[in-house]
């Protein structure tokens, strides 16, 4: 049993990215960080230039050719958006940019402004051409936003890179999107112990510990990006139909899945579905597991065969 771990960290994608390995491997770690940087540079919409920004800036004018990974991610996001129209929409960009939640200049827009921007969020106006890898937003002002899936996609790419370096036991943490590789060499029975953050805690306190093997753990929560105004909390996960932050009983949803892309997609969708519809959905999709943290401080675990959960905070109760 290995006894030492080696942690590598960098600030990327506006968050702390860390990699834990069990043999030192500076070269693998650097390759991982460089690859994340390259992907972030292609996918971001928080800087003036990126492949996704080129698509957005050409909206209503012409198609833009992108690199194969960006094309493939957009293609998947379009599929999900057309299937889960009420909860997930990659074309939500104009609404995200109007509210600016988590950024300088955040505001509660008036309903007329929201209505105007909503007209620019129809994912059916995204035209894809698989032969040329090009993406065309057919209406001027449309904007793609991959914020709900980019980290998941990138975490899976990191896993692939680590495999190329023959690393099969590791933890990748992209600011809370956690992907565990293989079995843990340091814990009993090979389970990885991954902290689940207590919502709104100031010092990164934990609500509990999720124990998994070879799984991704992704959380969507209203405490990640929000502001308060007149005692109302406005957070960063939007109802694509209204253009307002989703208002339901949940503080957060954590998805345990095989790939991190899947985890990221479904954390956003399951947040929108809420605990009742979400649990129904999961009963028919048993390869996904979930931990719902509710505002009334109860916790609901669904499809527990893929993980176990140890509660740490006695403010919460598992029901
Ligand atoms: P996540 O934390 O994975 O749930 O993703 C939230 C991020 O995705 C937000 O910061 C927005 O950039 C974007 N977003 C917000 N609401 C939606 C939605 N309903 N569908 C797709 N992306 C969204
Ligand atoms: Mg997500």
Structure tokens at 245: 């932050």
What is the structure's pLDDT at 57? 98
The span from the CA of 144 to the CA of 42, in Å, is: 13
Residue 236 Cβ contacting ligand 1 at under 6 Å: yes
Which ligand number lies closest to the CA of residue 223?
Answer: 1
What is the structure's pLDDT at 176? 85
The span from the CA of 135 to the CA of 126, in Å, is: 7
The side-by-side arrangement of strands in the sheet containing 177-181 is 6-12, 15-21, 170-174, 177-181, 216-221, 250-257, 289-294, 298-302, 317-318
- Going from the C-alpha of 281 to that of each of 210, 275, 301, 302, 310, the distances in angstroms are 21, 10, 13, 10, 24
What is the structure's pLDDT at 2? 52
What is the structure's pLDDT at 78? 98
Residue 267 Cβ contacting ligand 1 at under 6 Å: yes
Q: How many A from CA of 3 to the centre of ligand 2?
A: 34
Q: How many residues does the chain have?
A: 319
Full pLDDT tens readout for the chain, 319 residues: 556 999 999 999 989 999 999 999 999 999 999 999 999 999 999 999 999 999 999 999 999 999 999 999 999 999 999 999 999 999 999 999 999 999 999 999 999 999 999 999 999 999 999 999 999 999 999 999 999 999 999 999 999 999 999 999 999 999 889 999 999 999 889 999 999 999 999 888 999 999 999 999 999 999 999 999 999 999 999 999 999 999 999 999 999 999 999 999 999 999 999 999 999 999 999 999 999 999 999 999 999 999 999 999 999 999 9
Which ligand number lies closest to the CA of residue 220?
Answer: 1
User: Could you tell me if 214 and 263 are in contact, meaning their C-beta atoms sit under 8 angstroms apart?
Assistant: no
| Strand-pair partners of 17 | 10, 174
What is the structure's pLDDT at 155? 98
What is the structure's pLDDT at 3? 61
**What pTM was computed for the model?**
0.96
- Ligand 1 atom closest to 272 (CA): 19
The span from the CA of 125 to the CA of 85, in Å, is: 13
What is the structure's pLDDT at 202? 87
Closest residue to atom 1 of ligand 1, CA basis: 148
Residue 101 Cβ contacting ligand 1 at under 6 Å: no
What is the structure's pLDDT at 14? 87
Structure tokens at 14: 């506006």
DSSP code per residue over 56-104: HHTTTT--EE--HHHHHHHHHHHHHHHHSTTT--GGGHHHHHHH-TTST
Structure tokens at 177: 């999107």
Structure tokens at 157: 């790419």
Pocket mutation for ligand 1, best pick of 236, 245, 261 (most atoms within 8 Å of C-beta): 236
């Amino acid at each position: 049993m290995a006894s030492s771990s080696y942690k590598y960290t960098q600030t990327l994608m506006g968050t702390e990215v860390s990699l834990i390995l069990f043999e030192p491997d500076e070269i693998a770690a650097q390759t991982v960080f460089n690859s994340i940087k390259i992907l972030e540079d292609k996918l971001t919409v928080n800087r003036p230039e990126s492949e996704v920004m080129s698509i957005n800036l050409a909206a209503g004018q012409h198609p833009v050719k992108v690199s194969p990974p960006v094309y493939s991610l957009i293609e998947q996001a379009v599929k999900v958006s057309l299937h889960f129209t009420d909860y997930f929409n990659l074309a939500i960009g104009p609404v995200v940019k109007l509210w600016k939640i988590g950024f300088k200049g955040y505001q509660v827009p008036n309903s007329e402004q929201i209505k105007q921007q909503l007209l620019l969020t129809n994912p059916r106006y995204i035209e894809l051409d698989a032969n040329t890898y090009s993406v065309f937003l057919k209406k001027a002002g449309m904007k793609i936003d991959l914020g709900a899936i980019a980290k998941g996609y990138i975490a899976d790419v990191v896993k692939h890179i680590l495999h190329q370096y023959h690393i099969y036991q590791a933890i990748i943490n992209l600011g809370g999107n956690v992907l565990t590789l293989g079995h843990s060499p340091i814990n009993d029975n090979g389970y990885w112990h991954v902290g689940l953050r207590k919502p709104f805690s100031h010092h990164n306190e934990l609500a509990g510990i999720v124990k998994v093997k070879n799984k991704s753990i992704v959380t969507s929560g209203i405490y990640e990006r929000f502001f308060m105004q007149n005692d109302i909390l406005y957070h960063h996960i939007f109802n694509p139909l209204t253009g307002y932050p989703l208002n339901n009983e949940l503080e957060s949803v954590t998805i345990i899945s095989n790939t991190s892309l899947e985890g990221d997609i479904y954390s956003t969708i399951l947040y929108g579905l809420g605990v009742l519809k979400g649990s129904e959905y999961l009963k028919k999709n048993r390869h996904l597991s979930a931990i719902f943290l509710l505002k009334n401080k109860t916790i609901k675990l669904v499809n527990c065969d893929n993980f176990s959960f140890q509660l740490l905070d006695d403010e919460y109760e598992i029901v």
